[in-house]
Copies of this chain bind each other. A is one copy, B any other.
Amino acid sequence: MTVFDGSVLPARKTYLAGGRAGVRVPMREVPLTDGGVVVLYDTSGPYTDPEHVVDLERGLPRLREPWIAARRPGETQRGLARRGVITPEMEFVAIREGVEPEVVREEIAAGRAVLPAGRRHPETEPMIIGRRFLVKINANIGNSATTSSLEEEVDKMRWAIRWGADTVMDLSTGRRIHETREWILRNSPVPIGTVPIYQALEKVKGDPARLSWEVFRDTVVEQCEQGVDYMTVHPGVRLPYVPLTARRKTGIVSRGGSLMAAWCLAHHEENFIYTNFAELCEIFAEYDVTFSLGDGLRPGSIHDANDEAQFAELRTLGELTRIAWEHDCQVMVEGPGHVPMHKIEENVRLQQELCGEAPFYTLGPLTTDIAPGYDHITSAIGAAMIGWYGTAMLCYVTPKEHLGLPDKDDVKAGVIAYKIAAHAADLAKGHPGAQAWDDALSDARFEFRWEDQFNLALDPDTARAYHDETLPAAPAKTA
């Protein structure tokens, strides 16, 4: 089957039908030369369906429109789950994950999973983030003042989901933030996350001291209206915690975190997102936008891992999780960053304990600082481990981390490294069905079914190209 960009994916698009009208779950079906078939989770959206005519101006089909129309504003997946309702979205993800719909409902009701699907983003194919489900990965994209056009960002989004990104965060800065996001949202089949403080900062001409609750709130509403599915906010960067970062090697490395810290210090006042958190919950609930409680004080180096600044913020995020839950908001909690291997497990344990088992969503973590240019690898190690310990979603890191903005090759490298980490974690967690993929590929390998081995690979193009470079066909073997 030919997909966009002229590349060939050796797979067929297939759909699994649900019990109710419109629930039609896309999967990737890999036909094998021995007559078998392997069915894989598919994030690539309608773009890999030969029936779909791509029209970026018109955007994707609005598959969730009737489901949303049947719901009142303020009815969230969590609220419905708690009232015992299995929504079409829940049925969709149950089929996608191969579990009973009741499991999905229970996990969402308990706050252990989120189903990020904003009221204004009917194009989303529902997916779930929670430790009982497949480990998910997020890819960050976003233009800046100096690089990339709207089309390029949409292209990066489509490229990221083609290789397996489960959600995409648009971290654009500079002019045309709104327009870039509009293009991405209307053309994205995966949930889109943002960091609204970035746009708020543009509105105050880049001066963090001029930020305010009003500017921030209006930006959040604008983004909710537009269809964002989840937002990273930094209410945990409280005024008393800022001095805790003084003895760090790398201070505050989160951009959102440093903006909030700068505002707190400039005004010597408590973080306005913290003080207005209940009102923020009302807005998020109205649009069923999922909270991603940002770790603005996450460590930016091995030296700073698991310090008091980080854990003080985490305790606050735990309190806020419970407040958001009272508003029936869905919540996930973000985590670091840079953490040596022996300190990774503590992060998950504490987050799960302090935040009532709300899903953990971590950036990496990078397990060493010495390899700029290879931080997709330094962090894939940490990501695989933290996923195994119970993290629900892994935010990718590309080879350009710390060095520059990722291009398309970097996006692919980051997504592939993180798909590896997520799948390794699924295997280690004993996720039912995860090992079937490995087994199918290993069978193909042992029987020298090269085409099947390539087609089952996470990246068939690269596997085939590497093989074809060396002749004769015998694989390299080591003692």
Query: Which residue numbers of A lie inside 8 Å of B, CB to CB?
Result: 140, 146-147, 169, 171, 195, 198, 232, 249-251, 253-256, 294, 300-303, 340-342, 363, 367-374, 376-378, 380-381, 384-385, 388, 395, 399-407, 416-417, 419-421, 423-425, 427-430, 435, 437-439, 441-443, 445-446, 453-454, 456-459, 462-463, 465-467, 469-472, 475-479
B470 touches A403 (CB 8 A): yes
Q: Which of B303, B340, B427, B465 contacts A442 (CB 8 A)?
A: B303
6 A-B pairs with least C-beta separation? A404-B470, A301-B442, A341-B428, A373-B462, A195-B479, A367-B424
Q: Give A290 Cβ to nearest chain B Cβ, in Å.
A: 15
Closest chain B residue to A462 by CB distance?
Answer: B373
Given contacts A368-B424, A421-B381, A424-B381, contact A374 B469 (CB under 8 A): no
CB distance from A315 to the nearest CB of B (A): 20
Report which residue of A370, A400, A470 has the largest number of chain B beta carbons within 10 angstroms of its beta carbon: A370
- Within 8 Å by CB of A381, from B342, B368, B380, lies B380
Set of chain B residues within 8 Å of A420, measured between Cβ atoms: 367-368, 370-371, 374, 377-378, 381
A–B complex contacts, Cβ < 8 Å, 22 sampled: A140-B478, A195-B479, A198-B479, A249-B443, A302-B442, A303-B439, A303-B442, A342-B430, A367-B384, A367-B420, A370-B438, A370-B457, A370-B458, A373-B462, A374-B420, A374-B458, A378-B420, A381-B420, A400-B470, A403-B466, A403-B467, A407-B469
Q: A339 CB to closest chain B CB, in angstroms?
A: 10
A340/B404 in contact, CB under 8 A: no
- Name the CB-closest residue of B to A257: B479
Question: Cβ of A340: which chain B residues have Cβ within 8 Å of it?
Answer: 424, 427-428, 435
Query: A380 — which chain B residues lie within 8 A by C-beta?
Result: 377, 380-381
Instruction: Kindly state the separation between the CA atoms of A424 and B305 in the bound complex, as whole angstroms.
Output: 14
A446 contact from B251, B256, B385, B421, Cβ within 8 A: B251
Is the beta-carbon distance between A438 and B374 smaller than 8 angstroms? no
Residue of B nearest to A340 (CB): B427
Which of chain B's residues has its CB closest to A294's CB?
A: B479
Cα(A51)–Cα(B247), bound, Å: 43
